[in-house]
Amino acid sequence: MSPQSTSAVIAAWTRLAAVLLARGYRASVLTLSAVAIAPMLFGWASFVIKSGSMEPSINVGDVVASRPYEMPEKIAVGRVYVFDDPAAGSDHLLTHRIVELRDDGSYTSAGDANEVTDFTPVSATDVEARAIILAPYVGLPVVWMQVGEWVKLALWLLLTIAAFVLATRNLEGEPPKSNMLGLMLDRRRNRRTTGSSDPGEEPPVTGAPEKVDAHRRGVVPAVLGVVLALFATGLGSANAEYTAQSRNSGNTWTTGPWVQPYVGAVLADAPTAFWLLDETAGTATAQDRSGNTVLGNYKPAAVLGQAGGLPGNPGTSLRTGGGLSLTNAAASVSPATHTFELWARTSSTTGGSLVGFGSSATTAIPPYEDRVLRITATGRITYGDWSTNQLSVLTTPAAYNNDAWHHVVVVSVPSNGNRETTTIYVDGVARVSGQSSRVETYTGYVRVGGGSGSSAFNGSIDNVSVYGTALSASRVAAHWAAR
């Protein structure tokens, strides 16, 4: 066999194979397209899958033809559905498998390729359609269009056009025209050329088939364009999203069995009364934190709900513009040994009574009044300034009217002749100590922020406590430290 004839043989076989391949490809493309599009003719929906979480069952570019879902229909667990993604905004379709019916009637979905199920449950109202038919690959051009892979799209278009053109080539031994259009054209041409009317005897090389091909070359791209347009407009696309989760579980916050440190320190010394003054404005009764239910009555001068005095102990204080602010509600016998403790803040230069004991609970000057802790016009703190008979007044060396909160404690124990031995502590430290004025024994009230003598206290008061005992210096320091 001559080399020439060998190459002719190869060419002939190659041509045959190419045409056959092209025809096979054409048949596949048309079949897949028909399967993808045809269900839409009877009301189904077809979706091009845009992402790959259902691999290997469903790949990117596959078309899922699905039957619309109506509410009462049972959702089959284990099957694939197209639904509105409950974890995303509107108009976001997800194609995933329903893997569980939850106790609350909703469903759990999952992508086959995801290790975890989708976190947000799917309710039946989200479900759009049940996937029935899968047409592989045929949606790829749509995906390429959507993601802008123009090179792939162009290559595919070229290849497909070439294949469709090649597929129309006539093969030896078959009738030259395989479709109606071709046959009609052929007949007309045959009549014109008055050649042989036997189609099987057509000479292998004439101008006629090329003319036909040239004609078809115009038709084929148009057809393809139409098919593509159909896909792009007629097919919705649905997602099959990859998902993964990472969780940090079991975060807990448990509060300690605390009382506020200052409250705890005071309660440890068993006060007879402990008014936190944390009531809101308009409250008439001051609650007693001591457990002894020694309630207090707020007076009109008290302005509640002011900033608290202790940095580490949240709460509010009362403010008085001058005048009696609080007394205890029920009268009691004046204590012999006693401690008064409170927090005070003022910038006043007129002084006033912080706390004391008197025989009435009104703003008027009481018939009896003693045990009065007072701040002077110069800001010093005094105790004993109430009696003209054996007057002994203790006065702190320093002034405290600097508009800062100060912790003031006065501790008195009976001494000879109804007088008392007294120590005044300010900010946890004993500032002055000695004999103070004579006190009487009578029934009366603890009076906060008001008293006889000099003008009324103008400032803020917080956390008043009264003890029937004498606090030690270390306990006073402990109270101060717990502020």
Partner 1 sequence: MNKPTRRTSAVLAAVVTPVALIATGALIYGSSYAAFTGQTRNSGNEWATGSVKLTDDDGGAARFRVANMLPDDTQTKCISVTADASVPSTVKGYAINPVTSTAGLENKVKVTISSGTGGSFADCTGYTQVGPNHVTDAPLSAIATVNTFEGGFGGWAVPAGVTAKTYQISWRFDTSGMTQAQIDSMQGAKTGIDMQWEMQSN
By CB under 8 A, the residues from 227 to 266 that bind partner 1 are 241-260, 263
User: CB count, 10 Å around CB of 219?
Assistant: 13
Q: Radius of gyration of the chain from Cα atoms?
A: 50
Helix (H, G, I), strand (E, B) or coil at 203: coil
Q: Would you say 73 and 90 are in contact if contact means Cβ atoms under 8 Å apart?
A: no
Residue 298 gets the label, from left (phi > 0), alpha (psi -120 to 50) or beta, of beta
The least distance separating partner 1 from the CB of residue 209, rounded to whole angstroms, comes to 15
> How distant, in Å, are the alpha carbons of 66, 94, 138 from that of 38?
11, 22, 13
| Span interacting with partner 1, options 190-198, 275-283, 345-353, 381-389, rule CB under 8 A | 275-283
What is d(CA 464, CA 409) in angstroms, rounded to the nearest whole number? 10
Q: Which is nearer to partner 1, 318 or 439 (CB)?
A: 318
Q: Would you say 359 and 368 are in contact if contact means Cβ atoms under 8 Å apart?
A: yes
Among 37, 45, 48, 54, binds partner 1 (CB under 8 A): 54
Restricted to residues 110-149, the positions that interact with partner 1 (CB under 8 A) are 110-116, 119-120, 131-136
Total site size for partner 1, rule CB under 8 A: 86
The least distance separating partner 1 from the CB of residue 198, rounded to whole angstroms, comes to 14
What is d(CA 400, CA 413) in angstroms, rounded to the nearest whole number? 25
What is d(CA 443, CA 77) in angstroms, rounded to the nearest whole number? 83
Among 37, 45, 53, 186, binds partner 1 (CB under 8 A): 53
The least distance separating partner 1 from the CB of residue 271, rounded to whole angstroms, comes to 15
The least distance separating partner 1 from the CB of residue 316, rounded to whole angstroms, comes to 7
The least distance separating partner 1 from the CB of residue 41, rounded to whole angstroms, comes to 17
Tokens of 480: 């101060």
| Span interacting with partner 1, options 15-23, 212-220, 227-235, 398-406, rule CB under 8 A | 15-23
The least distance separating partner 1 from the CB of residue 455, rounded to whole angstroms, comes to 31
The least distance separating partner 1 from the CB of residue 4, rounded to whole angstroms, comes to 13
Q: Which is nearer to partner 1, 246 or 388 (CB)?
A: 246
| Span interacting with partner 1, options 71-79, 224-232, 366-374, 389-397, rule CB under 8 A | 71-79
Q: Would you say 377 and 446 are in contact if contact means Cβ atoms under 8 Å apart?
A: no
Q: Which is nearer to partner 1, 85 or 385 (CB)?
A: 85
Question: Residue by residue, what is the 3-state secondary structure of 8-37?
Answer: HHHHHHHHHHHHHHHHHHHHHHHHHHHHHH
> Which among 402, 422, 406 is positioned nearest to 414, based on CA atoms?
422
Among 123, 190, 287, 469, binds partner 1 (CB under 8 A): 287
Restricted to residues 20-39, the positions that interact with partner 1 (CB under 8 A) are 20, 23-28, 31-32, 35
| Span interacting with partner 1, options 107-115, 205-213, 328-336, 357-365, rule CB under 8 A | 107-115
Among 18, 38, 40, 55, binds partner 1 (CB under 8 A): 55
Q: Which is nearer to partner 1, 77 or 429 (CB)?
A: 77
Restricted to residues 76-105, the positions that interact with partner 1 (CB under 8 A) are 77-80, 86-89, 97, 99
Q: Which is nearer to partner 1, 87 or 393 (CB)?
A: 87
Among 39, 47, 48, 62, binds partner 1 (CB under 8 A): 62
| Span interacting with partner 1, options 38-46, 223-231, 309-317, 423-431, rule CB under 8 A | 309-317
Residue 315 gets the label, from left (phi > 0), alpha (psi -120 to 50) or beta, of left
Binding map of partner 1 across residues 162-201, x = CB under 8 A, - = no contact? ---------xxxx---------------------------
Spell out a b/e string for 303-330, using b for 16 or more CB atoms within 10 Å of the CB, else e.
ebbbebbbeebebbbbbbebbbbbbbbe
Handedness of CA 86, 87, 93, 99 (dihedral sign): negative
Q: Which is nearer to partner 1, 17 or 154 (CB)?
A: 17
Residue 288: Cβ-neighbour burial (10 angstroms; 0-12, 13-18, 19+) = buried
Q: At what angle do helices 208-234 and 140-147 cross, to 10 degrees?
A: 70
The least distance separating partner 1 from the CB of residue 438, rounded to whole angstroms, comes to 37
The least distance separating partner 1 from the CB of residue 267, rounded to whole angstroms, comes to 11
Query: If you search the block for the tokens 């204590």, which residue do you land on?
Result: 335
CB within 8 Å of 163: residues ≥ 6 apart: 21, 22, 25, 26
The least distance separating partner 1 from the CB of residue 481, rounded to whole angstroms, comes to 16
The least distance separating partner 1 from the CB of residue 345, rounded to whole angstroms, comes to 18
